[in-house]
Amino acid sequence: MLKRIKQRKERKIKRVRKNLFGTQERPRLTVFKSLNHIYAQIIDDTQGKTLAAASTLSKEIVDEIANAKTNIEKSKIVGNLIAKNAIENKIEKVVFDRGINKYHGRVQAIAEGAREGGLKF
């Protein structure tokens, strides 16, 4: 049973990722969410390097996360932080990789927060 679930998850990842590729000019903004936290990374696939990262565990936003009431608010804060980190690294345009998640809820909030922070998709 668990093997089948893992295979289904891998198929979904491949289906989304086959159309996305991060270059140096336009890296990939990928989102991973667990039950308690949400993570965002900006990845250059040509070099295989992470250029910027942010999560609900980031030390810069501990106070803001503590004051946020919902997970969607926390995700928007993480989106703003990843945009700030990207702009510090001179990255303005990205390709959004939602992973296996639907563009809804926390994933959508990260995208909106990143757009508010100045990233262009």
CATH number of 2-117: 3.30.420.100
Cβ 42 vs Cβ 83: under 8 Å: no
Which of the four pLDDT bands, split at 50, 70 and 90, describes residue 7?
A: very high
Domains of the chain by residue range? 2-117
Question: What pLDDT does 39 receive?
Answer: 97
Instruction: Tell me which amino acid residue 88 is.
Output: E
Question: What pLDDT does 42 receive?
Answer: 96
**Cα Rg of the chain (Å, integer):** 14
Residues contacting residue 27 through CB under 8 Å, at least 6 positions apart: 42, 43, 44, 45, 51, 91, 94, 95
Residues 3-22 have a mean pLDDT of: 85
Cβ 97 vs Cβ 31: under 8 Å: yes
Residues contacting residue 106 through CB under 8 Å, at least 6 positions apart: 33, 38, 71, 72, 75
Neighbours of 117 (CB within 10 A): 17
Residue with tokens 């001179």: 90
In 1-121, where do the E strands start and end?
28-33, 38-44, 49-55, 95-97
Question: Does the pLDDT value for residue 24 go beyond 90?
Answer: no
Which of the four pLDDT bands, split at 50, 70 and 90, describes residue 118?
A: very high
pTM score, whole prediction = 0.85
Pairing mode of beta strands 38-44, 49-55? antiparallel
Question: What pLDDT does 109 receive?
Answer: 97
